[in-house]
Structures are given as C-alpha cells and as structure tokens.
Structure 1
Amino acid sequence: MLKIEDLHVYYGGIHALKGIHLEVPANKIVTLVGANGAGKSTTLRAISGLVPITRGKITFQGEEITKTKTVDIVKKGVTLVPEGRRIFANLTVLENLNMGAFARKDKEEIKKDIEKIYAMFPRLKEREWQAAGTLSGGEQQMLAIGRALMSRPTLLMMDEPSLGLAPLLVKEVFKIIRDIYQDGMTILLIEQNATAALQVADYGYVLETGNIVLEGPGKELAANDEVRKAYLGKA
C-alpha cells in the first residue's frame, strides 16, 4: 500500500533520514522503533507532506505522493495521529471530530461516522459538548484517534499514541489499535513502548540515526538479542 524508497530529509544542517526504504502492506500493522532522535517522527511527517523531502520517492496505492500537499494526501486516504495528540483544546469534542472531516462534503455520512466514533469511544459521547482541553490524557488520545478516523483513511499513521499515559491506559490504547486493525485498517505505528509495539505489529523496522538497521516480523524483532538489549531493556 505504502512504499518509501531512498528517502532523505534534512533539518537545517542535520541529515535526519539517510536513504531509508520501507513498505507498509495493506491490512497490516507495521511499526518503526528506535531511540529518540532516530528519525521516526520525521518519517511520518515526510509521508504526510509536513517536511520537505530532499531526495527519494513515496508511493501510496501505486501513486507517487512525494511532492503532494498535505490536504491532498489526507484526501487520498493517509492520516496522521500526531505525537502529543494535538487536539484543539478550546473546541468541543464534537467540533474536534468535525475538524477531522474537514476535507469531506458528505454531511450525512459524517454524522454516521461520528456515531461510529461514539460507539467506539463511549466516553467521548458523554463529553460531546465539553472543551477538549479539559479531557484526561487518555480521553484526549481517544479523541485524537477518533478525529483521524473521521477522514476515512485507508492508512492510519500513529506517532507515540501511549506517550504520557498511565499503564492501564496504555493497555487500552493498544486494545484500540488492535480493534481498528481488525476492522480492516492499515496502520503505521511509532511507539516508545517498543515491547508492546513489536508484539502487536506484523512487521517492524529499527531506525538508528536516520538509517534502518534491522527489519523483520514484529515478534522476531522482539526476540532479537540486539533489539532486546537496545530498546526493550533486556539483555
């Protein structure tokens, strides 16, 4: 579904991505793990058109999107749940969900999708008219995921969805990821909790200072001694 070839990105004088290659097949969960500063978020931002690409090629469903504007990438079916949630704090829960559908014109279908989100996240329904900034961290993460789903993506990218959440909420977020995947969604996941990410992923890539140094099925990477020592805190 998504293919990245020889992707190079610079931030000022920093060579953030150094020619990475990766693929995300349809109806799979693919995870990208690595230390802070390895280039994980930069990869998602490059796919979304949020940072300029110096060299390389990104194709989605056979169509090149390397130089495509972000709004058009969303319309093609690629949506990002950003790190830190980035909900609109002064807007209500409902207004945030409607913002997720900004590129759509099918008002009746939008209403139906909002009800689907409420069925998935009943707590959002209970807080429909509440300012999003007053929600708990877990509820804000649910809202960020719900807002992304409102664009009806075929590829959902998630950047550190468990960041800053209590352990019980982390489990809930990963249950949500599995539920969305089982409904047919393709997911590209970046996650600080490498153990959980590799356990849920069909395939994984390990990124170090802008280079992919290892790749393989998620559970195989989770059992790899190098990965366990570097990212899972286990010798």
Structure 2
Amino acid sequence: MLKISDLHVYYGGIHALKGISLDVPTGKIVTLIGANGAGKSSTLRAISGLIKNKKGTITYNDRDITTLDPVEIVKGGIVMAPEGRRIFPHLSVAENLYLGAFSRSDKDGIERDKEWVFDLFPRMRERQNQKGGTLSGGEQQMLAVGRALMSAPDVVMLDEPSLGLAPLLVKDVFEIIKVINAQGKTVVLVEQNAFAALKVAHYAYVLETGAIVLQGTGEELLNDERVIQAYLGG
C-alpha cells in the first residue's frame, strides 16, 4: 500500500499541499479530482520525489520513501506518466519505450514488456520506427503511458491522461486504464474529467486549494450532490 500522512509542500511562499493524508490500496484505482491549482499534480510529484515536502511522510509497502530520489522511487516500483506527455520527439517510438526501461537490466523482460505495450496500444507497434514528435496527440499519450509501463512498475501514476484528447480517444484511454489495473497494476489517476475518472475509480479524493475536502468510493462521489454541482455540470 502507498500511504501519505500529513503532507505539506511549498513552492516558495505558496503552500501547495496543506497536510493531506490518503491511502492507495494495492491493486486499486484511486483518483484525485479538483480544479486547476488544487494540488493534484503536486501530490504525484511529491510521491515521485520530484518535489520535496516540508512536513509529513510517504510510505510504500511500509518503507519510508519520503526522502528517496526519483530514480530510486522508480526502481522501487512507482512510476509517473506526466501531464503533457513529455515524450522525446526526435526519438522513435521504440527508443522512447526503451528509455522507459532505463532502470532495468533484464533484457528478456524488457522485450516481453515492449510486446505487452504493443498489445495494449496496437498503433505503437505500427509506428514503432516513427519519431515520437510526428505522432498525433492521442498517440503521444499512448506512448507516454507505454513508456511508464516499461519500468515494470507496481504503481502507475497518470497525470491528466485525457487532457486535450477528442472524446473517442478519451474513452479509449479510460478503457486502457481499466485493462492496466486488471492486469495487476495499482493506478493513481489525476484527472479533470471528473465523471470519467470517478466511473473507473475504486476510491477517490476531492482536493481544493491543497486540502482534501471529500473522499469516498467512485460511486459515492458520483452521487454526491456537492461533487455533482462542482465538477459534474450540476
């Protein structure tokens, strides 16, 4: 289990996370919803070791990972597909995927996981020799998720995977999230499409200005009047 306890994060004088605590049970999909600036991405960045907290702890399988650097966190089984995709545009699809496996040395396992990614995203197989920058937005998102999976993680954190995608592609992305979870991965999902996120989530947290204001199962929050009014169009 991934566990955050009383986490405080600052950007200069800005108090971005104000003592949040949350649990991510093994094998579940947990989503964080909220408006821009609520602290969703900051939570993922803190877990990844990309920003350091002022107070609080992050533990994974009873190990304190609060002060580990990002590479050690990836090696420990937690990886993030960042907002904005951040692929390497001048490298091929296959090269991008191999870079996702930078922390591994098991060549057979890497090739096996590459085939798994190609099975998840058949268009990546078709375009494996094509430069990442020539892909469509939806294809780049697939590549970003696939690259994250190449590290053989136990926990996959997805930051705004549907951002900027056409509705049909959004549907595809959420179907893939369910498949990844069904194949044994724990998923932490940050998403502004609250309806789609809550539909797939086992559990969810609502963040506002750096604090958790609501939590419950995905179904509970889908039917919560406060969530409906604030995030689901009334």
1:229 paired residue number: 229
Q: Letter of the 2:106 partner, please give it.
A: D
1:139 aligns with 2:107: no
**What TM-score does the superposition give when structure 2 sets the normalisation length?**
0.99
Shift of 1:107: 1.3
Distance in 1 of aligned mates of 2:111 and 2:211: 43
Distance in 2 of aligned mates of 1:178 and 1:120: 11
Shift of 1:120: 1.4
Q: Structure 1 stretches of 5 or more lacking a match?
A: none
Counterparts of 1:42-81 in structure 2 under 5 Å? 42-81=42-81
1:151 aligns with 2:151: yes
1:109 aligns with 2:102: no
1:200 paired residue number: 200
Shift of 1:4: 0.2
2:32 paired residue number: 32
Give % identity. 64
1:174 paired residue number: 174
Counterparts of 1:84-95 in structure 2 under 5 Å? 84-95=84-95
Distance in 2 of aligned mates of 1:206 and 1:108: 41
SS at match of 2:226: helix
Distance in 1 of aligned mates of 2:197 and 2:125: 28
Q: Structure 2 stretches of 5 or more lacking a match?
A: none
TM-superposition CA deviations, 1:33-82 (whole Å, max 9, x none): 00000000000000000011100000001100000000000000000010
SS at match of 1:85: coil
2:188 paired residue number: 188
Please give the root-mean-square deviation of Cα atoms over the aligned residues, in Å: 0.6
Shift of 1:143: 0.5
SS at match of 1:124: helix
Shift of 1:139: 0.7
Q: Letter of the 1:131 partner, please give it.
A: K
SS at match of 2:58: strand
Distance in 1 of aligned mates of 2:112 and 2:211: 42
Q: Letter of the 1:176 partner, please give it.
A: I
Task: Name segments (4+ residues, structure 1) moved above 6 Å.
Answer: none
SS at match of 2:153: coil
